[in-house]
Chains A and B, each alone.
Chain A
Amino acid sequence: MKVFDYEHLEVGEDLGTRSIAITDELIDDYRAAVGATHEWYSQSSPFGRRIAPPTIFDNECLRMLDARYARFGSIHARQAWSFLKPVPVGSTVQVNVRIVDKFVKRDKGWFVMELTATDQDGDTVCRGRHTSVVSLVRKVTAHGA
């Protein structure tokens, strides 16, 4: 695992691509996790089948970061989304995450991850930007994140 601090975060690093099958179970788990109750998540929608909540990939930036870095003590500060196409059950979506920026502001380190989700037709279904604050100095801990 890579050291997680401002210095070691690599701008431009591709954190990987994950293939996610949008199943009934995944939609139900996410709906329950965030308390999303829109009827299109549980029955047919104007797009035919039931759809996933558009923020369903909100965990992927940190999941992929945590697969590379021994993360501890980051603080989620900003989140941006662009939604372009609904994702019905039965879809398979490729989610890619990259570290696209880091900067120092108000004596804190900030870093930005960009997420792109692409469906089986090659269409981008959403883009996300996750901005977190990270220690400028390496934190040593025996407890983990």
Chain B
Amino acid sequence: MAPEPADVREGDKLTERTVTITQEKVNRYSRFALDGRDTPNIHTDETKARLAGLPGPVAHGRHIASFFSEAMLAEFGAPWLTSGSLEVTLTKLVLPGDTLTLRGTVVAVVPVESGERVQVEMTLVNQKGETVLSSHASVVRRGSGRGGT
């Protein structure tokens, strides 16, 4: 059970989320990125991917990075949309068939003028235990008055 935003404190864990990346999901993002076209590319086509030196089609980094934002919205609600900040580092390729687990921890709660800025570290780990993306996120919780870490 995710902590209520009003109760969140340093050390709290975000709700763990798991998603399996399929070629169909990658194709769907590619279609969106290409305004509805199915033009073969390194994300959707084995030959194109191998010509680019990849092991095969790979997921779009920005597709996978969006999972962090969705997790923060689910945990913190409206403040994420008005004060959210997210920095993502993409470290390994995500391939169709990978199952990713998102984990997050509140690492600090820092007083700011308008309330408290909650800082969260998140990772996406594949089925081999490899971190494929990591991120630092923060969001301002207004008027809590608890302050401190």
Contacts and interface: CB of A to CB of B under 8 A. Distances in A.
Given A35-B19, A53-B66, A55-B62, A85 B82 contact: yes
B115 interface: no
Contacts, number: 98
A59 B37 CA distance: 14
B48 A54 contact: no
Contacts of B78: 46-47, 86
A103 to B, nearest CB: 16
B81 A38 contact: no
Interface in A50-80: 51, 53-55, 58-59, 62-63, 72-73, 76-80
Contacts of A32: 28, 32
Contacts of A130: 62
B82 A84 contact: yes
Interface size of B as a range: 35 or more
Interface residues of A, number: 36
Nearest to A81: B86
Contacts of B74: 38
B61 A79 contact: yes
Contacts of B65: 55, 58, 79
A145 B52 CA distance: 9
B85 A81 contact: yes
Q: Specify which of B41, B81, B84, B88 lies most central, judged by the most chain A CB atoms within 10 Å of its CB.
A: B81
A62 B73 CA distance: 25
Given A46-B78, A143-B48, A82 B85 contact: yes
